[in-house]
A and B are shown apart, each in its own frame.
Chain A
Amino acid sequence: MRAVPGGVAVWVASALLPAFAGAGEGDVLFVDATRSAGLDFRHWNGMSGQLYYPEVVGAGAALFDYDNDGDLDLYLVQGNLLGADGDRTRATVPWTGEGPTRDRLLRNDLEHSNGRATIRFVDVTEESGISAFGYGMGVTAADLDNDGWTDLYVLNLGGNQLWRNEGDGTFTDRTEASGADDPRWSIAAAAADYDGDLDLDLFVVNYLNFSLITHKTCLTERGEIDYCLPSAYQPVPDRLLRNDGAGRFTDATVEAGLSAKRPGNGLGVLVADLDGDRRLDFYVANDLMPNHLWINVGNGALAEEGLISGAALNADGEAEASMGVAGGDYDGDGDLDLFLTHFHRETNTLYRNDSEPRAPVFRDRTNAAALARPSWDATSFGTVFLDLDLDGWLDLAVVNGAVTFAAGRPRTEDDPFPLDQPNQAFLNVPGKRGGRRFEAAQTGLLDGASAHVSRALVSGDIDNDGDTDLVITNNNGPARLLLNQAGTGDDWIGLAPRLADAQGRRPASGVTVRVHRDGAPPLVRLAGASGSYASSGDPRVTVSLGGATVARVEVHWSDGTVEEWPAPPPGAYTDLVRGAGAQRTRTQDEQR
Chain B
Amino acid sequence: MSYRFQDLRPAVAFALVTLWSSAGVAVRAQTETAGTLLPIPVVDLRGVDDAVRTQIAEQRRLLEEALAAGPPAEEDAARLGLLFGEAGQLYLVYDLLPAARACLANAAQLQPQSFRWRYLLGSAAEHLGELEVAIAAYEQARALEPDDPPTAIRLGRVHLELGQYEQARTHYERALELPGSQAAAHFGLGRLAFETDDPTAALAHFQAALKDQPRANSLHYHVALAHRALGNDQASQAAMELRGEAPVAFADPIAAEIKESATGIGAQLLLGRVALAANAFEVAEQRFREAVGNYPESTAAKRSLAAALERMGRSAEAAMWYQQALDLSPNDAGLLFQTGRLYNAERRFVAAAERLRRAAELEPSFGPAWVELAAALTATGDHLAAAEALTRALELAPGDTNLRFHRARNYGLGERRELALREFESLLADLGANAEILLQLGRIEQELGRPASAARRFEQLIAAGAEPALLSRAHFELANIRTEQERYEEAIPHYQRAIIANPTLKAGYVNLSTALGRLGRFQEAALASRRALELDPTDSQVRAAELTALLLAGEDAQVRLMLEQTLELPDQGGSAYFAVLLVQVLAASADDEVRDGERALNLARQLFQRAQTPAHGTVLAMAYAESDNFEEAAAWQERLIENLERTGPPEALEEARERLAAYKAGRKIRAPWRR
Contacts and interface: CB of A to CB of B under 8 A. Distances in A.
Interface of A: 50, 83, 85-86, 158, 183, 209, 211-217, 219-225, 232, 307-310, 313, 315-317, 345, 347, 354, 359, 361, 363-365, 367-370, 372-373, 376-377, 406, 410-412, 437
Contact of B240 (A307, A354, A376, A412): A307
A219 B400 contact: no
A402 to B, nearest CB: 14
Contact of B17 (A213, A223, A347, A370): A223
B242 interface: no
A434 to B, nearest CB: 10
A475 to B, nearest CB: 21
Q: Would you call the interface of chain A mostly helix, strand, loop, or mixed?
A: loop
Contacts of A211: 397, 400
Given A217-B14, A221-B273, A222-B94, A83 B399 contact: no
Nearest to A234: B11
6 contacts: A212-B367, A213-B10, A215-B367, A216-B14, A308-B237, A368-B163
Nearest to A432: B163
Given A308-B237, A315-B195, A217 B365 contact: no
A313 B221 contact: yes
B195 A361 contact: no
Given A364-B195, A367-B162, A224 B14 contact: no
B237 A219 contact: no
Interface of B: 3, 10-17, 19, 42-44, 46-52, 94-96, 127-129, 131, 160-163, 191, 194-196, 218-219, 221-222, 224-225, 228-229, 233, 236-237, 240, 243, 247, 266, 270, 273-274, 365, 367-368, 371, 393, 395-400, 402-403
B161 A367 contact: yes
A361 B229 contact: yes
Contact of A376 (B42, B129, B367): B129
B221 A317 contact: yes
Given A216-B14, A368-B163, A411-B44, 12 more contacts: A85-B396, A221-B94, A223-B17, A223-B52, A315-B191, A315-B195, A317-B218, A359-B233, A363-B195, A377-B128, A377-B129, A411-B47
A365 B95 CA distance: 29
B128 A372 contact: no
A410 B43 contact: yes
A214 B19 contact: no
Nearest to A216: B12
A437 B195 CA distance: 14
B195 A365 contact: yes
A308 B47 contact: no
Contacts of A222: 48-49, 52, 94-96
B131 to A, nearest CB: 6
A427 to B, nearest CB: 16
Q: 5 closest pairs, A vs B, by CB?
A: A223-B49, A376-B129, A212-B397, A224-B47, A367-B163
B396 to A, nearest CB: 6
Contact of A310 (B15, B47, B228, B273): B228
B194 A315 contact: yes
A232 B13 CA distance: 8
Nearest to B19: A225
Contacts of A364: 195
A226 B196 CA distance: 40
Nearest to A347: B161
A133 to B, nearest CB: 12
B161 A373 contact: yes
Contact of B13 (A85, A209, A216, A354): A216
Contacts of B233: 359
B176 to A, nearest CB: 19
Contacts of B266: 223
A183 B43 CA distance: 42
Nearest to A361: B228
Contacts of A158: 399
A345 B44 CA distance: 21
A222 B53 CA distance: 8
B127 A367 contact: no
B322 to A, nearest CB: 17
- Which of A213, A220, A309, A370 lies at the interface centre, i.e. has the most chain B CB atoms within 10 A of its CB? A213
Contacts of A347: 161
A222 B57 CA distance: 13
Contact of B225 (A183, A223, A310): A310
B194 A213 contact: no
Given A83-B365, A222-B52, A411-B44, A363 B396 contact: no
B337 to A, nearest CB: 11
B44 A410 contact: yes
Contacts of A376: 128-129
Contacts of B402: 213
Nearest to B370: A213
Contacts of A50: 365
Contacts of A345: 127, 129
Contacts of B10: 213-214
Contacts of A412: 44
- Which of A158, A225, A316, A377 lies at the interface centre, i.e. has the most chain B CB atoms within 10 A of its CB? A316
- Which of B51, B195, B218, B399 lies at the interface centre, i.e. has the most chain A CB atoms within 10 A of its CB? B195
A312 to B, nearest CB: 9
A223 B161 contact: no
B397 A368 contact: no
B195 A308 contact: no
- Which of B10, B219, B221, B270 lies at the interface centre, i.e. has the most chain A CB atoms within 10 A of its CB? B221
B396 A373 contact: no
Contacts of A363: 194-195, 225, 229
B162 A83 contact: no
A253 to B, nearest CB: 12
A363 B229 CA distance: 9
Contact of B162 (A85, A216, A373, A406): A373
A307 B243 contact: yes
A347 B126 CA distance: 13
A225 B17 contact: yes
Contacts of B397: 83, 211-213
A216 B51 CA distance: 22
A406 B160 CA distance: 27
A372 B195 CA distance: 13
Contact of A213 (B96, B222, B274, B367): B367
A364 B247 CA distance: 18
Nearest to A223: B49
A364 B94 CA distance: 31
Contacts of B17: 217, 219, 223, 225
- Which of A85, A223, A232 lies at the interface centre, i.e. has the most chain B CB atoms within 10 A of its CB? A223
Given A363-B194, A368-B195, A373-B162, A221 B221 contact: no
Nearest to B12: A216
A50 B50 CA distance: 20
Given A83-B365, A372-B162, A214 B43 contact: no
Contacts of B19: 225
Contacts of A361: 228-229
Contacts of B127: 345
A72 to B, nearest CB: 34
B365 A213 contact: no
Nearest to B225: A310
A566 to B, nearest CB: 38
A212 B10 CA distance: 10
- Which of A50, A220, A221, A368 lies at the interface centre, i.e. has the most chain B CB atoms within 10 A of its CB? A221
A213 B368 contact: yes
A307 B221 contact: yes
Given A213-B10, A213-B368, A216-B14, A367 B160 contact: yes
A214 B371 CA distance: 11
B129 A373 contact: yes
A347 B191 CA distance: 16
Nearest to B221: A317
A162 to B, nearest CB: 17
A344 to B, nearest CB: 9
Contact of B161 (A217, A219, A224, A372): A372
